[in-house]
Structure 1
Amino acid sequence: MTDDLMSTFESMIERAHTDASEPFFRAVTTEDGRRALRLEGSFWKALEFISREYQVTVGEIISCVERAHLNDKNLASGVRHVCIHALAEQIEETRTWFSSTSIQNLLNATPAPAFVLSQSRQIKFTNQAFLKYVRTNFVAMDPQRETPSLRLHIDTPMEELFERLNENQNRPITVGFAMGMNDRRVRGSINAMLAPEWRHQMLLGFVVS
């Protein structure tokens, strides 16, 4: 596991509060009446999530698990299995929408010049419109060959921009930028968003001027 992925995983572990690992009893109404189950707080939270996703009650979930006979000797174990299976299935379905391929497809679909920056301000992805934008502003240079040496600076500090986007549910923020190649420098503005990538925070910029 790379250092950045390990850091992301460790942050996830830190968010898994210890009190959520403590099991406790909770009574729910099922088809057969009131049932009391002893589950860890994280599993009760997972049941609430599944309840919202499938628009069923927690009691109906437990009744379905019981009818399926996933574990006749231990209903709580069967419920835990369903929670893990449902969440893993949800992750598998959504992961394709939050990947490098998804980012590149998104850039390719937009007619505006667009790019993606890593937290260290490295250009990770571009589209053809951005390469044309570079070619227009840096005459007589081959953008396919020159893009790796392209310098791009965002006026707002990256850490601050990431924080603002996270706080505002990724509502686009218009910020200035400067782009340089060799001795030439160009200024403009972008609509900035968080790129759809679940492992790394990256900045998606659409050039607007």
Structure 2
Amino acid sequence: MLHVETEEAEPRFRAVIGKSGERRGIRLEGIYWEALQWLASATRGSLSDIVEKGAEQVPDNGNLASILRVLAVKSLWQRLNAVEAMSSMENLSALVQASPSPTIVLTREKKIQLFNEPFVAMLRQRLALSTTLQLSAGFRFAVDTQIEDAISNLEANRGKMLVTGFTASGNGKTVNGQINLALAPSHQKQMVMGYIVR
């Protein structure tokens, strides 16, 4: 459960002047003012623009503060839905399949979550595997950096990648190489994407 800070729940009074010069006195909790300010920035407008749009939607005997609260939550909800759609497992799978390089996604528990055809082709060639069934029997894949450490490192250095080694073994053969790790764009669980350098 999230913790609510005192200033987030404390009502604040603000006087907002619209483009027409009309002055509106509004009392909202701090968290709503922050959300409305974010909405104004996201739409390249101003707080007074948001208040004007809200005022246009107030029904008879309605309340502007209530409309502004709804606008704040609705805008954040829509943004959350858009971000979750972009960072869904389906979209992550599409990114992996679209990569021309051998690509995998590893979970925090060191399991391969996703992989693409170039990854399978590389293993077939370098481990002399004839079938996918042979790949699943006794196949092992490990990276030189602990996944927990890789995730911590990548979270601390957003926008960066981590270069490390990998070992793949199967069919009595072992292959070593270099893999570039990046945080997987997924909201469902923390994972890393690995791009194998040929």
Q: What is the TM-score when the length of structure 1 is the normalising length?
A: 0.84
Matched, 1:30 2:5: no
Name the structure 2 match of 1:133.
122
The alpha carbon displacement at 1:51 in A equals 1.0
Q: Which amino acid aligns with 1:111?
A: P
- Alignment match, 1:102: 91
Query: What residue is the counterpart of 2:197 in the other structure?
Result: 208
Asked if 1:44 is matched to 2:39, the reply is no
Structure number with higher helix proportion: 1
8 Å CA contact 1:154, 1:175 repeated in 2: yes
Moved more, 89-98 or 45-54: 89-98
| Range that drifts further, 69-78 or 106-115 | 69-78
Q: Given the alignment of the two structures, is residue 193 of structure 1 paired with residue 160 of structure 2, yes or no?
A: no
> What's the CA shift for 1:65?
0.5
Q: 1:57-206 residue pairs with structure 2 within 5 A? A: 57-70=46-59, 72-144=61-133, 146-147=135-136, 149-181=138-170, 183-206=172-195
Deviation at 1:17, TM superposition (A): 4.0
Partners of 1:58 and 1:145 lie apart in 2 by: 62
Distance 2:191 2:76 in 1: 25
Q: Aligned with 1:50: secondary structure?
A: helix
Structure 1: which 5+ runs fail to align? 1-9
Answer whether contact 1:115 1:206 (CA < 8 A) is retained.
yes
User: Which has the higher Rg, Structure 1 or Structure 2?
Assistant: 2
The answer to whether the 8 A contact 1:71-1:77 is kept is no
Query: 1:148, 1:59 → 2: CA distance?
Result: 64
Give, in whole Å, the separation in 2 of the partners of 1:106 and 1:36.
49
How far 1:23 sits from its partner (Å)? 2.4
In structure 1, what is the Cα distance between the partners aligned to 2:91 and 2:158? 19
Alpha-carbon RMSD: 2.1
1:142 Cα offset (Å):
2.1
Structure 2: state its 5+ residue gaps: none
| CA distance in 1: counterparts of 2:120 and 2:85, whole angstroms | 26
- Report the AA paired with residue 23 of structure 1: P
Q: So what's the TM-score if we normalise by structure 2?
A: 0.88
Return the letter of the residue paired with 2:147.
M
SS in 1 for 2:158: coil
Identity of aligned residues (%): 27
Q: Distance in 2 between matches of 1:71 and 1:42?
A: 26
SS at match of 2:65: helix
Higher mean alpha-carbon deviation, 115-124 vs 19-28, is at 19-28
1:185–1:72: structure 2 CA closer, same or farther, 3 Å change rule?
A: farther
Structure 1 pair 160–140 and aligned structure 2 pair: CA distance change class (3 A): closer
Letter in 2 for 1:92: N
* Structure 1 residue 115 displacement after superposition: 0.3
